[in-house]
Every structure is written in structure tokens, then in C-alpha cells.
Amino acid sequence: MNILDGKKVSNDIKDEIAVQVSKMKERGEKVPHLAAVLVGNDGASLTYVGSKVRSCKKIGFESTLIHLPEETTEEELLAQVVSLNMNSDIDGYIVQLPLPKHIDEQKVLMAVDPDKDVDGFHPTNFGKMALDMDSFIPATPFGIMELLRRYNVDTEGKHTVVIGRSHIVGRPISILMSQKGKAANSTVTLTHSRTKDLTTFTKDADIVVSALGVPDFLKANMVKEGVVIIDVGITRVADETKAKGYYITGDVDFDEVSQKASYITPVPGGVGPMTIAMLLKNTLIARERHRAGN
Ligand code: GUN
């Protein structure tokens, strides 16, 4: 069993980006500037956004956190988005999801300038990605692809079973892994809550990408020997014995499934840190595009 060490690989990527930033500074160029908009005080979102902003600082990016109250109206948020679109100092920005219930998420994401959409959630970028065109690729699937590439995991002609059809992970990773290229060329099955007899699919899978959000859902008797496991689940489970009052766990029963897997991502320390590294990578790409005037 080999661990797909997202923490290590994400640090490698961040080091590579930091070198690029140093070169930009030496040339007297503007460094990449990422902004993050957070509405409300969801605990997990606060942690993620805090982590994104801290990572920016570490690698030499500029960063701006716009923390708005829970009661922010849709109009106010849309005005913030328009302001970020017009601010030429900002290379890329994200609106952290989920948004409070009274705000139409799609309306907000549609308002983001596709050239600054480093999350890759705007239909223009998502459509371009699906058509094999150059675009911003959503950070979590981008991170999974990069992890598979850097560990030279063989995906060609393999059966990849994705669990979950979210716009952020399941849907895009199913598209990316079926495309041509390294860590791709896979035969993909996209499963979801209405799939009948899920185990039939997971037992046949060479690669399982689980993005469900149900702790310890995937058990050893649901997969075959030698399977590659990508665990995208990050769930907080309440636990009074922990300093934070909770612990983080994935979709996969790691102790059981790791006995059968050829490669497996741990939680924490697998896909999570890769997401942040690839968001930074997208911001670097955005800066380079803006410098080149496109
Ligand atoms: N919420 C969970 N994952 C993400 C992400 O990758 N980007 C944004 N904006 N919100 C998220």
C-alpha cells in the first residue's frame, strides 16, 4: 500500500510557485493577488478560507479576505462581486461555498468574471473544461489529477468509479478522467444517491474517487484488491476528547480499505491540501494571463 501524500505534494507545488513569485519580484513585476469572499461564519468555511489566505502569504502572493455578515443580501454580495471584477489589482477571487440559503448561489457564480474565476465554477470555464479547451479547472479535481500524475498512477483504460455528482468534485473529475492525457484516458462511471447496487460498481473499480461526505462509508468488502482510492470526503465528527471538539474523517474506512489498496489518500493530508495548492496555481495562471494582456 502506498500513501498518496497530498501534504507533501502540495508543499512541493507551493515551493515551485514561490520560486515563480520570487522571479516575478526580481523582475519588478506585480505578484499574484487572490481575494476570497466569505459570507457568514460556517466553521469549516472559516477554516478553509483562513488556510487559503495563510498559504498566499507563505508563497509571496497578495491576498484579501472579504468577510461579510450572515445577513448580507444577494444584492450586496453581487455588488461586491462587481467591485472585484472591476478591481484591476485582483488577479483572481473565490466566493466560498456554501452561501447562506437566502442567496442564489448560481446567480452569484454567474456574475464572476470568467478571467478571474480561479475556482473554475463559471459556466464559461466549466464548458471550456468539458470541451478540452484551456480554462480554470476547479481546484479539487485539478488537485486529484495532479496527485495521480506526480505518483505516476496508471489510469489509462482503467475503470474509475466516482461516487457523488457535485458540481465542485464529482461531475468535473468524471469529465477530466475520461479525457485524453496523463492521469486520464480512464473509463468513468459516475455514481450518485440514485445509483442502484453501488457495490457492483465499486467492486469492479480500478480507481474509486469518493466525494460523498459520509464518514467511513466505503468498506473493504466494497472494493477489489489493488484498488486506487481517492478520498475527497472531509467530515467533522463531534468528539469532546479532542481539543477542537471534533476530528476530521473521510468517506473511506482507512484502516480496512488501506489493507487492499495499492494507493490511497489519507484524510487529513490527502486531497484537502492539494485543493489549496491548485487554487494558488490557478491564481498564478490568472496573473500570467493578465500580464500577457489576455
Ligand atoms: N466549498 C467547498 N469547496 C470549495 C471550493 O473549492 N471553492 C469554493 N469557493 N467553495 C468551496
User: pLDDT tens digits for the chain (294 residues)?
Assistant: 999 999 999 999 999 999 999 999 999 999 999 999 999 999 999 999 999 999 999 999 999 999 999 999 999 999 999 999 999 999 999 999 999 999 999 999 999 999 999 999 999 999 999 999 999 999 999 999 999 999 999 999 999 999 999 999 999 999 999 999 999 999 999 999 999 999 999 999 999 999 999 999 999 999 999 999 999 999 999 999 999 999 999 999 999 999 999 999 999 999 999 999 999 999 999 999 999 986
Residue with cell 465542485: 168
Which residues, judged by CB distance below 6 Å to any ligand atom, belong to the binding site of ligand 1? 94-97, 119, 139-140, 168, 275
**Ligand 1 pocket test target in 46, 168, 275 with most atoms within 8 Å of CB:** 168
Residue with cell 467511513: 216
| Residue 217 phi, psi dihedral angles, 5° rounding | -70, -45
| Catalytically annotated residues | 52, 96, 119
In the chain the domains, ranked by start, together with CATH numbers, are 27-113 (3.40.50.10860), 139-272 (3.40.50.720)
CA dist 148 to 129, 142, 144, 226, Å? 18, 10, 6, 15
Q: Do 161 and 202 contact (CB within 8 A), yes or no? A: yes
Q: Do 93 and 118 contact (CB within 8 A), yes or no? A: yes
| CA 179 remoteness from chain centre | 18
Closest-lying ligand 1 atom to the alpha carbon of residue 95: 9
CA dist 197 to 28, 117, 125, Å? 58, 37, 34
Taking the complete model, does pTM exceed 0.95, yes or no?
A: yes
- What sections of the chain are H helices per DSSP? 6-26, 43-59, 74-86, 105-111, 123-130, 139-150, 170-178, 198-204, 254-257, 271-291
Sheet holding 187-191, edge to edge: 2-3, 263-264, 228-231, 207-210, 159-163, 187-191
**Ligand 1 pocket test target in 119, 122, 234, 236 with most atoms within 8 Å of CB:** 119
